[in-house]
Amino acid sequence: MSHDTYKDLMMGYLDGELTELEAQRVEQHLEGCAECREELESFRKLKEMTQPMRLAMPDDAYWERYWSSVYNRLERRAGWILLSIGLIAVTSYYVYQLAARLVLNPGVATPVRFGVAALIIGLCTLFVSVLRERIVLLRSDKYKRIRR
Amino acid sequence: MRPTDEASIIERCQKGDKEAFALIVKKYMKPAYYVALSYVGREDDALDLSQDAFVNAFRHLKRFDSTRSFFPWFYSILKNLCMNHLVRVRRHKEDSLDQMEEECGQVPIAIAAADPEAAMVSQDLREKVGAALARLKAKDREILILQHLQDLSYREIADLLGIPIGTVMSRLYAARHALRRELERMGVSN
């Protein structure tokens, strides 16, 4: 077993997390290694120093409200999705009506008709592109690249 | 909650059962808070981000393999949110994620006494430990918060983070080493 492995095992020894056999091996190593003995002692003091300390936690009332807060966020998100779908549908309908009137109306100047047609085709292309990207993202796990 | 119970609860969640999801949230809300706090330092941000992570997890739960442990998967979501938050807050968009992880602890971690007896430990020492923790890499801070300040066993930490027990020990060694160095720099000798 390498010296570095013993350094890692020393943590388990300090925290009482090793099996009896592992603990015996560490003790044997410590007998012959002054560096590790010294290091173990300084880690023991560090542990003793932080033993009476705990992470400051929000009060109990907050933990009681925690789930309801998550639930509200879940509901709110569903509300936003529905609102967005509604807005897109209504806006699309009126944009289509307006565009059809302009593009199909021979009374409107040709450059304006071409401009409006290009605008609509551009918007549709962008929408399809974004939609395709979102679908690809939804199919893949975007969290898999995160290292632990 | 046994692993088999958790798997069946997750399956209910995957069908959209929010009451089942409440059980998962209540089980993991505190570890989620500790992890978020180890990244962002501020209590209110940690609470906010941990709740957002649960919302994201619920939305993506259909793609989760229910035979696996929930928290390591959830941890990835939470960590991603915390990193995005740090990018937004600090506006260091040119920094890589690695740099962000190394530098993110700027806000001293709030440390309390474990019990009334332990309140004898001076406020000054608690503040110094909180400030020293804030100066560590997020990875070191995270393992120290879970082991030193929440007193979780190695098995619990390994299950939470989805890492082997051997890795818990090696990360703990590196983290304790770094904490000791920071405390020495602040004039706290042990």
Question: Residue B149 has what DSSP assignment?
Answer: I
- Beta carbons of B112 and A57 less than 8 angstroms apart: yes
CATH number (domain holding residue B69): 1.10.1740.10
Q: Could you tell me if B125 and B37 lie in one domain?
A: no
Query: Which residues of chain A lie closer than 8 angstroms to B179, CB-CB?
Result: 46
Does A42 sit within 8 Å of B190, measured CB to CB?
A: yes
Distance between CA atoms of B114 and A119, rounded to whole angstroms? 65
pLDDT of residue B120: 66
Does B18 sit within 8 Å of A71, measured CB to CB?
A: yes
Distance between CA atoms of A101 and A107, rounded to whole angstroms? 10
Q: Could you tell me if B59 and B141 lie in one domain?
A: no
Of A43-52, A106-115, B175-184, the range with the lowest mean pLDDT is A106-115
pLDDT of residue B95: 53
CATH number (domain holding residue B145): 1.10.10.10
pLDDT at B179 over 70: yes
B153 is in which domain, residue-wise? 108-185
Q: Could you tell me if B90 and B70 lie in one domain?
A: yes
Residue of A nearest to B146 (CA): A55
pLDDT band, very low/low/confident/very high, at A72 (cuts 50, 70, 90): very high
Q: Could you tell me if B13 and B60 lie in one domain?
A: yes
Q: What value does the mean pLDDT take over residues A73-87?
A: 88
User: Most A CBs within 10 Å: which of B59, B172, B189, as the mutation test of the A interface?
Assistant: B172
Query: Which residues of chain B lie closer than 8 angstroms to A66, CB-CB?
Result: 25-26, 29, 47, 51
pLDDT of residue A113: 84
Q: Does A8 touch chain B (CB under 8 A)?
A: yes
- Reported as type and span, the H/E element at residue A86 is helix A60-104
Does B149 sit within 8 Å of A55, measured CB to CB?
A: yes
Average pLDDT, chain B: 84
Pick from A14, A49, A23: nearest CA to B154:
A14
Q: Could you tell me if B114 and B179 lie in one domain?
A: yes
Residues above pLDDT 90, as percent of chain B = 34
In a domain, B150, yes or no: yes
Counted domains in chain B: 2
CA distance B4 to chain A (A): 23
Instruction: Choose one of B100, B123, B149: the last residue of a domain.
Output: B100
Residue B112 φ then ψ, to 5°:
-115, 170
Q: Could you tell me if B8 and B78 lie in one domain?
A: yes
> Which is more confident, A143 or B136?
B136
Q: Could you tell me if B88 and B7 lie in one domain?
A: yes
In a domain, B152, yes or no: yes
Residues above pLDDT 70, as percent of chain A = 92
Q: How far is CA A34 from CA A40, A45, B170, B180, in A?
A: 10, 17, 20, 19
Does B33 sit within 8 Å of A53, measured CB to CB?
A: no
pLDDT band, very low/low/confident/very high, at A146 (cuts 50, 70, 90): very low
Q: Could you tell me if B88 and B50 lie in one domain?
A: yes
Q: Could you tell me if B40 and B112 lie in one domain?
A: no
Q: Could you tell me if B94 and B124 lie in one domain?
A: no
In a domain, B158, yes or no: yes
User: Which regions of chain B does DSSP assign to beta strands (E)?
Assistant: 111-113
Q: Could you tell me if B77 and B131 lie in one domain?
A: no
In a domain, B190, yes or no: no
pLDDT band, very low/low/confident/very high, at B99 (cuts 50, 70, 90): low
Distance between CA atoms of B77 and B56, rounded to whole angstroms? 7
pLDDT at A95 over 90: no
ipTM above 0.95, yes or no: no
> Which is more confident, B179 or A113?
B179
Instruction: Choose one of B100, B128, B163: the last residue of a domain.
Output: B100
Query: Which residues of chain B lie closer than 8 angstroms to A57, CB-CB?
Result: 30, 33, 112
Tell me the pLDDT tens digit for each residue of B120-130. Answer: 667 788 888 88
pLDDT of residue B170: 95
Does B176 sit within 8 Å of A46, measured CB to CB?
A: yes
